[in-house]
Amino acid sequence: MKLLVLFGGASSEHEVSCLSVASILRNIDRDKYDLYVIGITKKGEWKLLNDIDEDKIERCQWDNNELVNAVIIPDKVSKSIAVFNKDKTDFIKIDCCFPVLHGSGGEDGTIQGLLELAGIPYVGCGVAASANTMDKSITKIVVDTTNVRQAAYALAIKHEYKKDKHKVMKNAMEKLKNFPVFIKPCSSGSSVGVHKAIDMQSLEQSLDEAFNWDNKVLIEEFINGREVEVAVMGNLEPVASIAGEIAPTQEFYTYDAKYKDDSSALYIPARISDKAMKELRENAVTVYTAMGCRGLSRVDFFCTDTEEIIFNEINTIPGFTSISMYPKLFGHGGIAYSELIDKLISLALEEHNG
């Protein structure tokens, strides 16, 4: 099988993608797949890697002048990538694509749309599910239609904030009542631009920073509880892993805590009752299904001291690094990393072929 692996990207999560794809390339069964790996630079250039060096990829040192450009052709008949060699252009038919692109340009439906146009099966959620889950405010609206509880929230819009920031903050706090609150850019992942505000002054500072990342920002109720995550896999009949728990050494699970600092403790399974575990797994599938997800997603919750389950967010291309929860959760259930990759590719082919 000719498998195209995409990574990198012109997003704030470029480095995370490099970490994830390095782990995938170390664990994939090379006897089963004829690999074509394209890295997308921070500038948005597409480069075909002629030598797969996981260590260089992990350090984001893979780009060099020897790499040739290669792109997906949006032609359903050819189902190919075009490789622009010095003397000629080669067209290589692709059987499946594994996009390991976190954040904008990879997790937001854009690359999925290109792959749909090209007629190439791909791992993960489709265009609509990817776009809707990427936007946390849309996710909130959809999850509101289910019986899954989520944190209370207010939505701040950049142009309204610029006109009268104090009115926006006042209206948000009238709805949320109390500090602290969390500020989250609506379409940024991996905790990029996320801040905790304890008063109006820090709320203003946090919003100023968050609007550097997005034009829409969530102001969200603080939930005092364990951070728990569930890995979900499947198409029309998804299955949920057991829940894992994160005990961050930092105040909350920041970008650095996720990818640079491995001191955060992971508990698999989470330190909760069987009843709470059952509810978590059921709620994860409910959210996954409501958002129209396919292939895979990681669904994140809070579990309070009284074991109330509260939805936090969903990630359609979760981290696949050596310390990421998604592969660890299924690994605990007996699915080895390489087998997990095989299953995700099989689900991509199943979804494409109906």
CA–centroid distance for 103 within its chain: 7
| Nearest residue to 182 (alpha-carbon basis) of 90, 253, 85, 93 | 253
C-alpha 288/C-alpha 328 separation (Å) is 19
| Nearest residue to 264 (alpha-carbon basis) of 281, 249, 283, 280 | 249
274-290 and 136-143 helices, crossing angle to 10°: 110
Of the two residues 187 and 278, the one the predictor is more confident about is 278
pLDDT at 261: 56
Give the residue carrying structure tokens 């692996």: 5
Q: pLDDT tens digit string along 117-145? A: 999 999 999 999 999 999 999 999 999 99
* Domains (range + CATH), the chain: 2-122 (3.40.50.20), 133-149+224-353 (3.30.470.20), 153-221 (3.30.1490.20)
pLDDT at 259: 47
* Averaged pLDDT for residues 25-40: 97
pLDDT at 264: 78
DSSP classification of residue 67: P
Q: pLDDT tens digit string along 254-294? A: 555 544 556 679 999 999 999 999 999 999 999 999 999 99
pLDDT at 253: 46
Cβ atoms of residues 228 and 185 within 8 Å: no
Q: pLDDT tens digit string along 135-174? A: 999 999 999 999 999 999 999 999 999 999 999 999 999 9
C-alpha 298/C-alpha 318 separation (Å) is 6
Residue 354 binned pLDDT confidence (cut-offs 50, 70, 90): confident
Q: pLDDT tens digit string along 310-350? A: 999 999 999 999 889 999 999 999 999 999 999 999 999 99
Q: Give the pair of three-digit tokens for residue 96.
A: 């499946």
Q: Which residues sit opposite 143 in a β-bridge?
A: none
C-alpha 195/C-alpha 182 separation (Å) is 6
State percent of the chain over pLDDT 70. 95
